[in-house]
Structure 1
């Protein structure tokens, strides 16, 4: 016979799961890389400069390719984005953030499928999303559902 959990048991189990996540290697790596990034003056300056460029790009974007500075500003934004992506503290943080996100996505998928295989859990990962889609998502079959 199937045992139905009480609200108290569900809350207790949820808190236990949350504690397990907070003790995970992925979470500790995320916290340490985030702290290192926040303390990195160069990264802070690069992010500030990138945000200024993004604002400039948004202003130019209103007119699109017809704006006289469109090509130049677009190039500056792409170059700065690449510079950010290659800067080690930022790259390490992004990698740790992605690993934590993957852990949370896997947990969400396990919990959802414990309830029903028909529950859709958008994870941003095509592998997990294809496992999650039980059909009828409205994407016209492009997600691979039936």
Structure 2
């Protein structure tokens, strides 16, 4: 492939965009939340306990309800999962993750629409699906009310 001036310019602009995303408030919050997640001993203990129980659950799952410890391990796994979900540090981390995902979805949609309205951009947030003329996943040929271009 030969590098043309346009190709180099697009690559430079892509690098600028990546740097802007890395310097964004959403990314800063994400890194802060991740650092907090990795350095909070109580949260790390909960994660390790859940991972261990999840391994036991996977072993028991092979036999299903017929395994003698199925109910107890299933119940304990769900309890530990709830504990993880309710942990303040983990909730903050997940919110920060969603913030970064939202930013990336917005950028992807803007880039896709700048190329063409018919470009389908996969997004991780259903909120953005409605912002597009066609989200790219109805597979009904326009039966959902989208305009299939």
Q: TM-score range by the shorter chain?
A: 0.7 to 0.9
- The 1:83/1:134 distance shift into structure 2, 3 A limit, reads closer
Structure 1 residue ranges without an equivalent (≥5): none
Matches within 5 A, 1:1-146: 6-130=6-130, 131=132, 133=134, 137=137, 139-140=139-140, 144=144, 145=146, 146=148
In the alignment, the residues of structure 2 paired with residue 75 and residue 143 of structure 1 have an alpha-carbon distance, to the nearest angstrom, of: 42
In the alignment, the residues of structure 2 paired with residue 40 and residue 19 of structure 1 have an alpha-carbon distance, to the nearest angstrom, of: 29
Structure 2 residue ranges without an equivalent (≥5): none
1:89 deviation in Å? 1.1
In the alignment, the residues of structure 1 paired with residue 31 and residue 143 of structure 2 have an alpha-carbon distance, to the nearest angstrom, of: 34
- The 1:68/1:140 distance shift into structure 2, 3 A limit, reads farther
TM-score (normalizing by structure 1): 0.84
TM-score (normalizing by structure 2): 0.83
Give the count of matched residue pairs.
Answer: 141
In the alignment, the residues of structure 1 paired with residue 142 and residue 52 of structure 2 have an alpha-carbon distance, to the nearest angstrom, of: 37
In the alignment, the residues of structure 2 paired with residue 141 and residue 61 of structure 1 have an alpha-carbon distance, to the nearest angstrom, of: 40
Q: Deviations over 1:64-120 (max 9, x none)?
A: 222222222121111111111111111111111111111111111111121122222
Q: CA RMSD in A?
A: 2.3
